[in-house]
Amino acid sequence: MIPITEFKGRDVAVFGLARTGLAAARALTAGGARVHAWDDNDVSRAAAEAAGVPVSDINARDWRSFAALVLSPGVPLTFPEPHRVVTLAEAVGVPIIGDIELFARAVNALPATQRPKLIGITGTNGKSTTSALIAHILSEAGKDTRLGGNIGAAILEQPPLHAGAYYVIELSSYQLDLTSSLRLDVAVYLNTTPDHLDRHGDMTNYVAAKKRIFLNQGAADWAVIGVDDPHCARICTELTRNAAQHVAPISAGQALGRGVSALGGKIIDGLSGRSEIVADLTQAPALAGKHNAQNAAAAYAATRALGVDHRIIAQAFNSFAGLPHRLERAGTIEGVRFVNDSKATNANAAAQALAVFPRVYWVAGGVAKEGGIEDLAEFYPRMAKAYLIGQSAGDFADVLRNKVPVVMAGNLEAAVKLAFNDAKASGEPHPVVLLSPACASFDQFKSYEDRGDQFKTFVAALNEAPKANGAKAGAKK
């Protein structure tokens, strides 16, 4: 844990008692603050109390007594309208911050020689893989590395701050909206496609939140930014023109005169202005696909900026195991391969998975994001059949009508069984059943992780079924 001493002896409200809220409450308490934690959910409050977090109804308190409101990133700050606790805090001038801001202030309070290195990663897609890959490279290089933020443990649950440590922090737009003091030694902004517009109002606000990752950077710091979409390309041009920090453009679609490119399965380092092939991604099984090529280019640029030798980076690419629920191999049964890409919660993320395989039996559906699956038209020829589940099934079926054969599976278990039977009967040499839902999970599952875990459970059950049937046949004899 990282104790937060800034509010020692003062009252602090913490609202939202999921992973980051609980960590913030514990870190503030360890630093001597009087914490008043609350959540609208009865179950969350009970869990917090069981974990020793002091719970009190902040709605009934005089808000002028609070030194700050620490807000969970999942709580609406601005759109579609501010949560009532935001309105209460703003009415009396109470600062509204998040757990990343608490962390940033704790780092800034240290003497410069005692501060750890901070690497932050954001983007619509790929930030979890890129964060984990950067952490893996740094660990392989012998660095004292901690991975947290929007991935894994909350940032304030990490071991205490000290010089020589490297904190790799995945940052969502929600977290960045609540952060103003964070200065990153390396800030990575991968890409931008429409997402979370219900929380940001429009693309302008969404991009502005993401762009906050570069706040406070100075001449010694590095901005690593993808240039394969127009939003990030414009920001890269702006950063280069302003020359406040070093800028490393990265691309998986074009050769860059000065930057890092991922083309034809090769990582090409042109940061010095002289291009050199430094890694072969065809030897890295967990980094298949164009989207992972961009992730690898970003991770290469970020770790090179931190002084890691390019040979260590290349070796680390090959040993990287990948992330659960992102093009995760879920098994092969009777020649049918199953791939768990449950983390693909929007069409753009699903497109990245669909681009990897020439033909798939596609399991999709859930709570659709804005735009649905209209942007996946170029991949329709790759879909042998679509097995639709969840809330969006009807709308997706309408979009796919007369373009892709559709099965209204209803739920994931049925979809897995139906896709397996069709793939097995197809006669194709290596058929692939791909769960890449292009949707959020909350209509039928607790989270995308729960969805992916259930997919793997249903796949494993297919493997057990023949054994069970064989046992029954043996018993009859």
Structure tokens, 235: 């920001």
Rounded Cα gap, residues 112 and 166, in angstroms: 15
| DSSP-derived secondary structure for 408-468 | EEESHHHHHHHHHHHHHHT--SS-EEEE--SEESTTTSSSHHHHHHHHHHHHHHHHHHHHH
Is there a contact between 64 and 90 (Cβ–Cβ < 8 Å)? no
Structure tokens, 325: 């629920």
Annotated binding site for ATP: 123-129
Structure tokens, 405: 């054969």
Is there a contact between 221 and 186 (Cβ–Cβ < 8 Å)? yes
With tokens 């039928």, the residue in question is 444
Rounded to a whole number of angstroms, the distance between the first and last alpha carbons of the chain is 61
Residues 6+ apart with CB under 8 A from 209: 173, 174, 176, 177, 200
Cβ-in-10-Å burial (0-12, 13-18, 19+) of 255 comes to exposed
Annotated binding site: 123-129
Quick count: other Cβ atoms within 10 Å of Cβ 282? Answer: 12
**Residue type (1 letter), 268:** I
With tokens 């490297």, the residue in question is 166
